[in-house]
Structure 1
Amino acid sequence: MTTTIATPAARVRRGLLYTTLVALLVVFIAPLVWAISGSFKSRGDIFETPPRLIPGPITAENYANLLGSQPFFAWFGMSVGTALIATVISVFVCALAGYGFAKFRFRGRRVLFTIMFSSLSIPFAVILVPLFILVVKSGLQTPWFSLIVPWVAPAFGIFMMQQFIVQSIPDDIIEAARIDGTTEFGTFWRIVLPLLRPSLGALAVWSFLQTYNSFLWPLVLISDQDQYTLPLGLNILFASENRSYDLVLAGAVLASIPTILVFILLRKQLLEGLTAGAVKG
């Protein structure tokens, strides 16, 4: 058995790598830690100098005031509900469209794909007003419909699925299913979708975050405070005359729970989907 001894240069590089990773971890996690700490402090103690990481005394009054004085559960249900529905529909539609672009040859395929891909360069703010007019003129401005529609067929998701299918699903598998008499949709449902599981998990996380964190579209569309999403509701608290930082921090901590749960549940598929195609063998 041979033992590899790290050279001084390798140790220095490894030390620099670990130091950089730890520094990045601190940068990314510090806001969440500060929010959790501040959510258990009174309003006067949030901005005390020097700041204290551990509240003293610890109080849950912020959470009680938030849940008792604001329609937080309505905001929470609206955000989580629309995000889950939009994610399920988006994942299915993107996988189906990606399969069509990857495995079917039809006239105008390249033109359609180019138009779809080019839409990635168009900011959402550009289509905001036309989309709002279209939704209102169609009489479909109910929140449970209009908050979901813009996210059901994102160009990024279609492109992601198309690339994954091209790289990971051989044409021979599709042809074998067709020879066995499987319908095209049956091939997609029984063969393609199971093979897409890693990329579907990655797309589901991305789609959920896009819908859950959406602010501009709900801001334009919704006027009833009881139908606000969480970003709108927390913005109301922040923009109030009293600047309710205590309630905002408590709401931010509660609002982060669904995103953390989604990552925990789909972390395996997310990592596999992000690394798919990175190593070819």
Structure 2
Amino acid sequence: MSTTATDTVTAPSRPRPVDAPARARRGLLYLTLTALLVVFIFPMLWALSGSFKQRGDIFATPPSLIPDPATLENYQNLLGTQPFWSWFGISIGTAGIATVVSVFVCAMAGYGFAKFRFRGKRILFAVMFSSLSVPFAVILIPLFILVVKSGLANPWFALIVPWVAPAFGIFMMQQFIVQAIPDELLESARIDGATEFGTFRRVVLPLLRPSLGALGVWSFLQSYNSFLWPLVIISDTEQFTLPLGLNILYASENRSFDLVLPGAVLASIPTILVFILLRKQLLEGLVAGAVKG
């Protein structure tokens, strides 16, 4: 006796229709995001457009985003009459060094707080964490006196000191290491004969790449855009950073917007490049922190 198998054909499921309220909420969300995008993008477009306009056309009425005529005279005047490249080099150099040192120091400190037990650990971590609530202006003068009395007021050193071990960076690394690196992995490396620093360098650091990228972007922006500390520690205009240099152009008697705008456009290039180069690590670090938190 033979049996015949019958194949059942399942009809493809149709996508569920989106109801009107959900469609309205989505449309409102897109409209809000578009409005926010315009709010954030418009000042950048205005600065870029104004940097190619003649001085008298920057605030012409009615305003126009298209320079007519477009000119490179503002850039030529900026680079020819101001020590812009000196400001640019000091800003990039100090921010780059501060970022590298800060990322490494914060990773080591966060590793120590996350995976080691030592006397006074909780008190030390509480003091470090509570310093996040202290405005930088509160410690500005004591830090200035300490740097000057120590004979370390050289701009290339003084501009790096405040960003070497930020409390936010240490806390960020500590939280990520606690969540992402199991103790068993570290024990395996130690059993294989790795030293503590070898374990940190070969095991911990590779797993921290997303968070290191996010911390690197944050550290670079903090140092590169710093205004208050360089204003206090630097007196020679030749050693100004970009924020200070652009500020003296803006604060001049003639309000040199024809020099400020091209300077702002050129100053924004490094931050854009940093974001482009580290965007993958930055997004992975933010997503990992959101999921694991």
Deviates more, 1:72-81 or 1:40-49: 40-49
TM-score (norm 1): 0.98
Which residue pairs with 1:278 in the alignment?
290
Q: Does the 8 A contact of 1:91 with 1:204 survive in 2?
A: yes
Distance in 2 between residues matched to 1:259 and 1:140, nearest whole Å: 28
Please state how far the C-alpha of 1:277 moved relative to its aligned partner: 3.5
Q: Which of the numbers 155, 159, 181 marks the counterpart of 1:147?
A: 159
Q: Which of the numbers 130, 134, 153 marks the counterpart of 2:142?
A: 130
Which residue pairs with 2:8 in the alignment?
none
Q: Give yes or no for the alignment of 1:55 onto 2:67.
A: yes
Deviations 1:183-237 (A, max 9, x none): 1110000000000000000000000000000001110111111100000000010
Secondary structure class of the residue paired with 1:48: coil
Distance in 2 between residues matched to 1:82 and 1:263, nearest whole Å: 18
Please state how far the C-alpha of 1:279 moved relative to its aligned partner: 2.6
Deviations 1:148-184 (A, max 9, x none): 0110000000000000001111111011111111111
Q: Which of the numbers 39, 42, 47 marks the counterpart of 1:35?
A: 47
Q: Does the 8 A contact of 2:52 with 2:74 survive in 1?
A: yes
Distance in 1 between residues matched to 2:20 and 2:49, nearest whole Å: 41
Distance in 1 between residues matched to 2:241 and 2:208, nearest whole Å: 31
Q: What letter matches 1:159 in structure 2?
A: F
Deviations 1:243-262 (A, max 9, x none): 10110001000000000000
Which residue pairs with 1:101 in the alignment?
113
Q: What letter matches 2:172 in structure 1?
A: M
Q: Give yes or no for the alignment of 1:70 onto 2:82.
A: yes
Q: Give yes or no for the alignment of 1:4 onto 2:3.
A: no
Q: What letter matches 2:243 in structure 1?
A: P
- The 5 A counterparts of 1:165-184 are 165-184=177-196
Secondary structure class of the residue paired with 2:215: helix
Q: Give yes or no for the alignment of 1:111 onto 2:123.
A: yes
Distance in 1 between residues matched to 2:148 and 2:77, nearest whole Å: 36
Q: What letter matches 1:115 in structure 2?
A: V
Q: Give yes or no for the alignment of 1:18 onto 2:35.
A: no
Structure 1 pair 225/174, CA: closer, same or farther in 2 (3 Å)?
A: same
Distance in 2 between residues matched to 1:29 and 1:81, nearest whole Å: 28
Q: Does the 8 A contact of 1:201 with 1:270 survive in 2?
A: yes
TM-score (norm 2): 0.94
Q: Does the 8 A contact of 1:41 with 1:56 survive in 2?
A: yes
What's the C-alpha RMSD, in Å, of the aligned pairs? 1.0
Aligned identity (percent) is 79
- The 5 A counterparts of 1:128-277 are 128-277=140-289
Q: What letter matches 1:11 in structure 2?
A: R
Structure 1 pair 280/97, CA: closer, same or farther in 2 (3 Å)?
A: closer
Distance in 1 between residues matched to 2:45 and 2:101, nearest whole Å: 34
- For structure 2, the residue ranges without an aligned partner over 5 or more in a row are 1-11
Distance in 2 between residues matched to 1:216 and 1:280, nearest whole Å: 35
Q: Does the 8 A contact of 2:179 with 2:292 survive in 1?
A: no
Distance in 1 between residues matched to 2:291 and 2:121, nearest whole Å: 29
Deviations 1:15-62 (A, max 9, x none): 111111111111111111000000001111111111001010001100
Structure 1 pair 97/173, CA: closer, same or farther in 2 (3 Å)?
A: same
Distance in 1 between residues matched to 2:291 and 2:257, nearest whole Å: 47
Which residue pairs with 2:7 in the alignment?
none
Runs of 4+ aligned residues of structure 1 deviating over 2 Å after TM superposition are 277-281
Please state how far the C-alpha of 1:4 moved relative to its aligned partner: 2.9
Please state how far the C-alpha of 1:280 moved relative to its aligned partner: 5.0
Structure 1 pair 125/173, CA: closer, same or farther in 2 (3 Å)?
A: same
- For structure 1, the residue ranges without an aligned partner over 5 or more in a row are none
